[in-house]
Amino acid sequence: MAVKDLIQLYESSSPNDTNQSPESPSRLNAGTGTGNSALSLPPPRRARFIHRNDEPTSRADATLVNDTSEYPFRGIGSSDLREPLSPKDGPSTLHAYPPTEQWSTGRHSHQRSQISNKNDLHPPHSPVPAQDVFARNALPLHLPKLDKYLELLKIPHLPSGDESRMFPPMDKLASLGWTLDDLENNATSTPSWRDRRSLLGTSINVLIGFLGSSALASFYSLQGLVNTVQIFALILSTIGKLPLHSSLECIHMSLVFLLVFIVLVSALLVYFYRSTTRCDRYNSIEGLQDMETKGNKWGLVITTFLLTVAYLPLSTMVIHVVVWSEELWPIPNPYRNATTLPPDLPPLGPPNVFRDPLDFCWTTTMKRNEVNLAPLMMIPSILVFILFTLWFPFVLRRVIRQSVPKVDSYTALGRPRNTADQDAEYQRLLGRDRNPFAFLYTAFRRGWGTYISTYLFAKLSTLLIIAIFDPDNCLFRNYSRTTISVIRQILLLLTTIGFFIAQCIFAPFLDPINNASEWTSRLNYLTTASTALAVTLNIPGKEILESYVLYCIYIVTYGLGFCKGPHLAFRSRRLTTSTDFSLINFGWMQRIVKKLTRRMDFSIDIFSPRLDISNCSVHTKRRIWQETVTALLLTDESCKIPNGQHIAFAQARDSIFPPYLLDFQGTPAERHVENLKILREVGAGTYRRANALLSGPDISWYRYLQDEIQKNYTGPDSYWKPLDDNEVNCRTYFGNAWWIPFPPTLVIRYDEGPYAVLNDSVALEAYIAQNSSKDVQMRRQIRMALRCLEGKLVRWPYDHVQHIGSPSLLCCGRRRYEAVTTQQYTFALLKIKRRGHLFWAGVHLGSGFQITLRYSRSVIVPSEVFGLTEDYDLTPSLARFLDLNKNLIDKSLPSLEEKISFYRRFHRKQCRTKAKVLSYRFLTFVYDQPRDPHGLAQSSIEFERDKRVRQLMRSSEAVFKIAYDRLAAVSTSPAATWWYIFWDDLWRRNHDTISGLQTHAKDFNPHYRTSIAYTPLPRQVLESFLTQRGLLHSKPKWSDFFHAGFLNKLYLRLNDAVFRDSSRAIVFHLGNDGRELDMEDIDILTQAQSSTLGTGGGTDHDASNMRPRPTYRWEGLLSDPPGNGGHERRRKWLTKMGAWFGITPLWRAGFQSYGISLDVKVENGRYVQLHDDHSTTVAGNSVR
């Protein structure tokens, strides 16, 4: 039975249908009081005791009260400021559509009147805790006035059409099988089971944890390496591939294996260093060229993986060599079972042949006439310790820091992101990150991507303590074995305590499950180290500690790992962590857990009274109009992004200049994606002001500045001395410049490295004036002449004076005898060292201009030898140098100038092409301005010059009409708006988990005409609707997602949307406080107690995957148990227990509220609202 049929059936059986008009009741009649007067909307009710005229609506809104950038995009003639609704108007429960005010960006007014002198009082009663009202076994909440209001609502008018088909262009989007996010990135997300980021990331965590275990410390020795080779040789010999040579039995083979291991690692380290010199995805590459790494880069990935895996074993081995551990001693360990210290040993033989019996440190033989191979082991080991053990983690940290993706500063609505939004966006970016180093940081949360380098040090510290503080090495062989063992266990205990505290405080992993497993792992290390110290100290009960206590530790710590999934129990807990992390990140596992916990997810704080449900709600605009426009452009055959096109942007990590789409292929869809990226990067205010500049009265002057700069003053050798000398600290003020067309911005990277960004007309005029001056032009010509000599043999005679002998001083102050030789050179190779990286047509145009002359491999002199100064003045020596090489300059200068000129023409042409294909105004005039499609195509054609866009606008008038009618249908009242947002978000986040939603997609998916999202239903109708589709049962089943408590919550919020500020609104209580509050009062009183302020961005298209986050305010408030109002109880770490075990992605952070109770009572087996028939007048600031 369809939604319309259920409504008609309900209305025909309603006992009050005699009061209705023969025609279908309309929302206008309901709002103006026609029909039954008892069903008309109530008059406004004044606030009870809280003055909230200036109260912001969310954290994001609070920062934008006086910021015009928060207002929506407007036409050129629109005002930049929009007056909020006056408190005198009262709350409006009926929307006009189209709205008389501009579309909001989420900041709607909650201003209310002063405290009323008239308040109502109820007879004594016991409020019911919200937990009981919303429980699965709760009684139904009966709200007859709300049902009557919903009954009178007119069925929305939607465009006629085939009910079995989706609205266009969503039908085309569904047929492609891609999401809008996929289309915007022109790529689908790689499944976890074949994603190298998750596979290698899990493997690296497993191996580091396993290899960093103290249980394996004894194997990290040369003898362990020999044994490993022997095992492999034995395995290979059984199949006849490699015979086992007797040389493997020789102790000197350990040296061979160590050197081979060091050579292999050194080769990998050199390749890693050369490949990562310019790995900074945002800063190393300049100009308008692709900064993303192209290709799979499997060589670099495998090299990084092998170096990370080899770090712990090789570092421990070289430490064993440096301290000369027991396995390197040429004689059996004489300190074991010795009764004296040092032990008394007989001579090995004649003193002239053999060494002293205890003189075996740092030697491979006890015979005096044999070659000592210890230096061959010591020198490489020391070098490996310096260049690999100490240096590699720092380089790895730098590489990761330069590779992690940056989060846009604003949401897709142009509003600043709060911390929770930034974390969610960072997780989304990780899911699509194609950087070759992504597997190193994809497991860690924002700001902690470099944790793996710290983790390597943490693991290494344990192994070093075990290797160094050992009585069986040459450093501590003459000390008491008991003393050294106690010191070692104390150091191990201190390090484990430090790491345990750090894990408790920082929790660096992205997933709470990983943090929980790592916490358990640290707890394992801590308790094991404490037990080991107690055993070493030989305290009473040693046998119990070594057996029962240790077994209990293993059962508890490893048992927690087994509780979360099938694992292998190693000494290292990180293997358990990584296995669980890999399982819970599979989509099928997330859906299983979600079904088992019967959890419904929402992308916004759907039950919050702060949620924008005005007639110009940003949420409905985003989900209907903007989504339609984006889908239309991205799915149209003539406008869509070409297959295989890589979407990449030139952007700065700190967002000092706007992004620019690279490798533009000339399609409108690419331009639309670029507009959206610019909006997320610069915000709505900056975008609007830049748009006004493009179409305002100063457009001619702006175009002149842009053309002049793009023609003559971009590329290398650009000059800008800031008007404020303290702005940058540079010596030459020359650098590489490039122009970003929107918002109009000139970016200069100086040769010394700093950036300068010019985006106002005064600075741009000064830039043109400086670069057109004769003095700067002359200096640029000198730099161009020197560029022509790069990589060529130039002529410049030079006498190189070299001293022979030691230049050190004697004690008496006299120098030793020195001889001086002079070598004359005529030709040198001119080299230019740069900081930036910009290649164009085989020419390096990047910033940096450090010139050297290389006469020989050992003779390299700076540019001062031929008179080059920091100001590039034409000195006599420089003039002579240029004259000597005039032929080389004249030969190369025309070609160089032509390439630079071509570079400028190319980017100038590309900027013009972008503006022609799709204007920057399209975002503000079409995408962000829902309006009647009549005349939309004609007005769009006026400022769009591309034939494809014009044709699309003409042929899609029906599509815009459908989107506009959908938006009008859900914007007629706050109830209709909230109802649509609720069901739309429920579908997006839960349709792949709740089988009934997918089975009856036409009844729930808002992209169908028959969706329930367009028709607010009375509770009885909704219950019948859900029951018929198997989603609700009179006797709740264990697997039901919908139940009486959930419907109570739904209609409670709907009742607030309809009857807010009236006597028909349900009264709330906070804790044991007797004051009677409404939802807004509760919201304001609990601002400092919730984990996440605001109502959430809600800008994801169809993000149904699990992303851990703290609960929104009303998610936590409606689940908090009642408490005493005399103190605040901070949530303990136990609140994350569910997230730790993967049961839920949410956790309650911050302060817990005092609990909410409702003024309802049980009557005839259901909750009913307390009557407000009794009222008295209370003067002043008294409350009910």
How far is residue 877's CA from residue 602's CA, in Å, rounded to a whole number? Answer: 73
Q: Give the other-Cβ count within 10 Å of 743's Cβ.
A: 20
Q: Which residue has the higher pLDDT, 289 or 439?
A: 439
Q: Is 90 exceeded by the pLDDT of residue 527? A: no
8 Å CB contact between 1026 and 1032: yes
Confidence of residue 918 (pLDDT cuts 50, 70, 90): very high
Distances (CA, A) of 813 to 48, 807, 808, 816, 1102: 93, 12, 10, 10, 81
Tokens of 275: 């490949």
- Looking at 585-620, list the stretches that DSSP marks H as alpha helix, in order from N- to C-terminal side: 587-597, 618-620
Please name which of 701, 654, 765, 77 lies closest in space to residue 407, comparing C-alpha atoms. 654
1151 beta partners: 1130
CB atoms within 10 A of CB 803: 10
Question: Cα–Cα distance between 794 and 830 in angstroms, integer?
Answer: 7
Q: Which pLDDT belongs to residue 16?
A: 44
pLDDT for the residue numbered 148: 92
- Low-confidence winner among 30-44, 298-312, 881-895 (lowest mean pLDDT): 30-44
Range with top average pLDDT, 30-34, 168-172, 288-292, 459-463: 168-172
First-to-final CA distance of the chain: 46
| Residue 558 confidence class, pLDDT cut points 50, 70, 90 | low
**107-121, 625-639, 678-692, 864-878: which has the minimum mean pLDDT?**
107-121
pLDDT digits (tens, 9 = 90+) for 817-866: 567 788 888 999 999 998 888 888 888 888 999 999 999 988 999 989 99
Decide: residue 343, CB within 10 A, 0-12 exposed, 13-18 middle, 19+ buried: middle
The residues facing 750 across adjacent strands are 735
pLDDT of 247 > 80? The answer is no
1139-1173 per-position pLDDT tens digit: 666 667 777 766 677 788 888 899 888 999 886 44
Does the pLDDT value for residue 1030 go beyond 60?
yes
For 318, the enclosing helix (H) or strand (E) is: helix 298-322
- Give the per-residue pLDDT at 251: 55
Q: Are the CB atoms for 653 and 282 separated by under 8 Å?
A: yes
Higher pLDDT, 759 or 58: 759
Tokens found for residue 852: 């050297």
pLDDT of residue 239: 42
Question: Residue 77's pLDDT is what?
Answer: 33
CB contact at 8 A, 907 and 914 = no
Return the axis-axis angle of helices 144-152 and 1044-1059, rounded to nearest 10°: 70
Average pLDDT over residues 885-898: 93
Q: Is the pLDDT confidence value at 1068 over 50?
A: yes
d(CA 830, CA 19): 97
Tokens in use for 9?
Answer: 């059936």
Does the pLDDT value for residue 235 go beyond 50? no
Amino acid at 587: G
| Per-residue pLDDT tens over the stretch 256-269 | 888 888 999 999 99
The string of pLDDT tens digits covering residues 966-1015 is 999 999 999 999 999 999 999 988 888 888 898 999 999 999 999 999 99
pLDDT at position 1106 is: 62
The structural domains of the chain, with segments of one domain joined by +, span 3-154+1011-1175, 708-806+813-908
Closest CA to 657 of 1099, 914, 920, 288: 288
Share of the chain above pLDDT 90, in %: 30
Q: Which of 621, 725, 522, 699 is nearest to 964 (CA)?
A: 621
- List, in sequence order, every residue forming a beta bridge with 827; answer none if it has no partner: 795
Average pLDDT over residues 14-36: 38
- In which residue are the tokens 């009183």 written? 1085
Residue 12's Cβ-count burial label (10 Å; 0-12, 13-18, 19+) is: exposed
Give me the helix-helix angle, 451-468 and 391-403, nearest 10°.
Answer: 170
Between 1184 and 418, the more confident residue is 418
Each residue of 278-337: pLDDT tens digit? 777 776 668 887 655 555 688 888 999 999 988 988 898 889 889 988 888 888 888 887
Q: Which of 621, 527, 515 lies closest to 578 in space, CA to CA? A: 515
Residue 556 has what pLDDT?
65
**596-627 residue pLDDT tens:** 777 888 888 889 888 889 888 889 999 999 99
Task: Return the pLDDT at 35.
Answer: 37
Is pLDDT above 80 for 120?
A: no
SS3 category, 828: strand
pLDDT per residue as tens digits for the range 690-720: 988 888 788 888 899 999 999 999 999 999 9
Among 774, 752, 916, CA closest to 834? 752
Q: What is the pLDDT of residue 211?
A: 63
Least confident of 33-47, 138-152, 335-349, 628-642: 33-47
Residue 249's pLDDT is what? 47
pLDDT tier for residue 209 given thresholds of 50, 70 and 90: low
Residue 804 has φ and ψ, to the nearest 5°, of: -115, 130
Angle at 762 between CA 757 and CA 763, to 5 degrees: 25
Can you spell out the DSSP letters for 718-781?
EE---SSTTS---SS-EEEEEEETTTTEEEEEETTS-EEEE-SHHHHHHHHHHHHSHHHHHHHH
pLDDT of residue 520: 78
Strands 715-719 vs 755-758: parallel, antiparallel or unpaired: unpaired
In angstroms, what is the C-alpha Rg of the chain?
Answer: 37
For residue 548, the 8-state DSSP code is: I
pLDDT of residue 414: 82
More confident residue, 873 or 105: 873
The pTM score is 0.81
* Distance between CA atoms of residues 1083 and 1103, nearest Å: 27
Task: Report the mean per-residue pLDDT for the chain.
Answer: 78
Contact 599, 86 (CB under 8 A): no
Whether the per-residue pLDDT at 364 is higher than 70: the answer is yes
Q: Worst-scoring range by mean pLDDT, 152-166, 442-456, 562-576, 739-753?
A: 562-576
* Dist. CA 150–CA 978, nearest whole Å: 13
Look at strands 793-804 and 819-833 and give their pairing. antiparallel
Lowest mean pLDDT among 208-217, 694-703, 713-722, 729-738: 208-217
Dihedral (Cα; 1113, 1119, 1121, 1125), 10-degree rounding: 20
| The pLDDT value given to residue 223 | 54
Rounded to 5 degrees, φ, ψ at 1056 are -65, -35
Instruction: Kindly tell me the burial class for residue 356, based on how many C-beta atoms sit within 10 Å of its own C-beta (0-12, 13-18, 19 or more).
Output: exposed
